[in-house]
Amino acid sequence: MRALDSNQERWRANAGELSPAFIDAGCIVSIIFLALTTLLWNYQALPLQYWDESRNANNALEMVLGSGWLVPAYDGQVDHWNTKPPLLIWLMAGLMKLGFAPLLAVRLPSAIAACLTMILVWVVVRYGLRDRFAAAIAVILLFSSKIYTGIHGAHTGDYDTLLALFITGYILSVWQALIAQDTQKKYWRLCAGICLVLAVLTKGPAGAFGLIGLCLFFAMTGQLLSIVKDWRWWFVGIAAISFCLSYYITRELYDPGYLNAVWINEITGRYSETNEAHYYGHWFYISTLFKQFEPGALFLLLIGVSLCSSNVARKRLVQISFFSGAGIVILLSSAKTQLYWYLIPAIPLLSIAAAIAVVDAIRKFHLQRTAIRMFCILFLALPLLVSIYKNAFSLPAKAQQKARISQYGVLFDELRRTGNMQRPITVIDDGVDNTAGLVNYNPELKFYTRLEQQKGSIIRTKKLVDAAAISGLVASCDYKNTKTLRAMLNHVLIDRNVCVAGYKD
């Protein structure tokens, strides 16, 4: 670590003795610029995702159109398929009300949540441990994770990135409460309780997943009994549970049957039963970490170095972040429904543990300046550049070319540019099968149809079996039907990727 310290001193001298405050401000500005520009600069090139994101988008749009703000709806009916509390939907609907472009309104909460999470991780490691190098590594590991920044993550309008912000918030608040001065402990306890409530209001029972790791941390460090005896933690916990239960009780009063739907969909339907054949074995999440959390997963193998640290605050932060992340992984691995993006709340925590572990290893083994430079290039700069390229360019391009991605937003935009949205349009789409039993289910089509109807367009949806009797302007982005429909058209206007549109006599 001496080589690292001498490098920092030499750099400061050459830079005109930049103040620590100026450097820290630059780091935070860089994080904001990195996150928001990379995730949002080319956001419209990534089609609205068929599953989850488009469902959330419809819930938000229906709120804006007057369905009510307490009970989300889909297609004019109370939504008991998406039973998550509506915090994310409120954020999306609020942005739509403020006049943001609909797709931007859907994705902005996730991008901002990712940005705030990276700032939170940086601030805690930088100021809590006074380690700027470890803070930078933690942020880079987080942003380089394919799970965290990909589809269903920070790039799309899904729950898990916002959930990760609040779970990380209450776990780090507990750490601060453990090491803070007595006069400050109450504020950190309060912050932990608020973050817990917000996590539950984001994704229901999943918001409490971080508590499993906290219990593991307290048990492993011998603090469980002292926490149980502290009435102040009981007060925070009971207050948080009361706030959460008040939402569920109020929702049940306005929406009878909601609690039963939550039980079936979020607990028995996902944890104890395999939903839609999404089960891949007990080692699925571990293998996913080594595939999509690189190089962070490798750095976690150095965790033993940090666990032997004599710095109590540093050791406690590694323990609480690692055990909390591991607790989430263990809980998910025992469930019967497994999806890779469920891991997202664990990634910020594991990034902190991995970053501190690798810096402690550098100190322990006294790596020379050349070795540190090679480490920064191969394990930090290169993954970061790959992540920036993937999120800003590669991911949207690949999604547009994907054969089964519905792209009605792109189709309607092109029809509008060519002046054809003024004519009645018949969309041929058979939808997909779903566990809710919805007929002709295509939430991406539903979302863009509602938007175009608000602009005065006339759009009807029919099945392929009805196409023979239809004339006029016909369109489809249903990959199962486009080949057949293309042969029926007398004049083709658009034929790109999975979409086709034209006139039929």
For the segment 293-320, what is each residue's pLDDT rounded down to a tens digit?
989 999 999 999 998 888 889 999 999 9
- Identify which of 214, 204, 193, 149 has the alpha carbon closest to the alpha carbon of residue 344: 149
Q: Which of 69-73, 348-352, 429-433 has the lowest mean pLDDT?
A: 429-433
**390 — pLDDT class (breaks 50, 70, 90):** confident
Secondary structure element (H or E) that encloses residue 38, with its range: helix 20-40
Cα(129)–Cα(39) distance, integer angstroms: 29
On the 0-12 / 13-18 / 19+ scale of CB atoms within 10 A, 418 is exposed
pLDDT at residue 7, as a whole number: 54
If asked whether residues 267 and 212 sit together in one domain, one would say: yes
Sign of dihedral through CA atoms 290, 295, 296, 298? positive
Cα(60)–Cα(91) distance, integer angstroms: 8
**42 — pLDDT class (breaks 50, 70, 90):** confident
Q: Is the pLDDT of residue 14 over 60?
A: no
At residue 406's C-alpha, the angle toward residues 440 and 82, to 5°, is: 60
If asked whether residues 154 and 269 sit together in one domain, one would say: yes
Q: Is the pLDDT of residue 3 over 60?
A: no
- Identify which of 443, 412, 450 has the alpha carbon closest to the alpha carbon of residue 62: 450
Sign of dihedral through CA atoms 105, 497, 39, 157? positive
Tokens linked to 103: 């797709």
Contact 242, 305 (CB under 8 A): no
Asked whether residue 144 is domain-assigned, the answer is yes
Asked whether residue 365 is domain-assigned, the answer is yes
If asked whether residues 384 and 415 sit together in one domain, one would say: no
Q: Is the pLDDT of residue 105 over 90?
A: yes
If asked whether residues 384 and 426 sit together in one domain, one would say: no
Domain count, the chain: 2
Q: Is the pLDDT of residue 11 over 50?
A: no
**What number is the average pLDDT over the span 161-175?**
97
If asked whether residues 367 and 460 sit together in one domain, one would say: no
The torsion of the CA quartet 486, 488, 491, 493, rounded to 10 degrees, works out to -30
- Domain end among 400, 419, 448: 400
Q: What share of the chain is helix, strand, coil (3-state, %, to 5)?
A: 70, 5, 25
- Identify which of 68, 67, 49 has the alpha carbon closest to the alpha carbon of residue 107: 49
Asked whether residue 68 is domain-assigned, the answer is yes
Percent share of the chain, pLDDT over 90:
65
CA 455 to chain centre: 31
Per residue in 185-204, pLDDT tens? 999 999 999 999 999 999 99
- Identify which of 95, 227, 105 has the alpha carbon closest to the alpha carbon of residue 157: 105
Q: Is the pLDDT of residue 370 over 80?
A: yes
If asked whether residues 359 and 412 sit together in one domain, one would say: no
If asked whether residues 341 and 218 sit together in one domain, one would say: yes
If asked whether residues 346 and 476 sit together in one domain, one would say: no
If asked whether residues 125 and 245 sit together in one domain, one would say: yes
Asked whether residue 13 is domain-assigned, the answer is no
- Domain end among 400, 423, 439: 400
**13 — pLDDT class (breaks 50, 70, 90):** low
* Ranges of H-type helices in 366-420: 369-375, 382-389, 395-401, 408-417
Q: Is the pLDDT of residue 351 over 80?
A: yes
If asked whether residues 337 and 455 sit together in one domain, one would say: no
If asked whether residues 369 and 456 sit together in one domain, one would say: no
User: Which is it for strands 77-78 and 459-462: parallel, antiparallel or unpaired?
Assistant: unpaired
Per residue in 240-292, pLDDT tens? 999 999 999 999 999 999 999 999 888 877 777 777 777 888 899 999 999 99
If asked whether residues 447 and 316 sit together in one domain, one would say: no
Asked whether residue 5 is domain-assigned, the answer is no
Percent share of the chain, pLDDT over 70:
96
Domain span holding position 492: 408-504
For helices 20-40 and 102-123, the axis angle rounded to 10 degrees is 150
**What number is the average pLDDT over the span 435-445?**
84
pLDDT at residue 10, as a whole number: 55
User: From the CB of residue 492, how many other CB atoms can be counted at a distance below 10 Å?
Assistant: 11
Asked whether residue 291 is domain-assigned, the answer is yes
Cα–Cα distances in angstroms (integers) from residue 82 to residues 118, 168, 297, 309, in the given order: 28, 24, 32, 45
Q: Is the pLDDT of residue 5 over 70?
A: no
Cis peptide preceding 348, ω within 30 of 0 = no
- Domain end among 376, 400, 424: 400
Asked whether residue 44 is domain-assigned, the answer is yes
pLDDT at residue 2, as a whole number: 52
Cα(481)–Cα(463) distance, integer angstroms: 9
Cα–Cα distances in angstroms (integers) from residue 227 to residues 128, 178, 232, 329, 461, in the given order: 22, 10, 9, 24, 58
Per residue in 466-484, pLDDT tens? 888 899 999 999 988 888 9
**DSSP state letters, 59-87:** HHHHIIIII-SSS-EETTEE-SSS-S-SH
Asked whether residue 14 is domain-assigned, the answer is no
As a whole number, the mean pLDDT across the chain is 90
Q: Is the pLDDT of residue 66 over 70?
A: yes
pLDDT at residue 279, as a whole number: 85
Sign of dihedral through CA atoms 224, 228, 230, 236? positive
Q: Is the pLDDT of residue 15 over 50?
A: no
Residue 441: beta bridge partners?
432
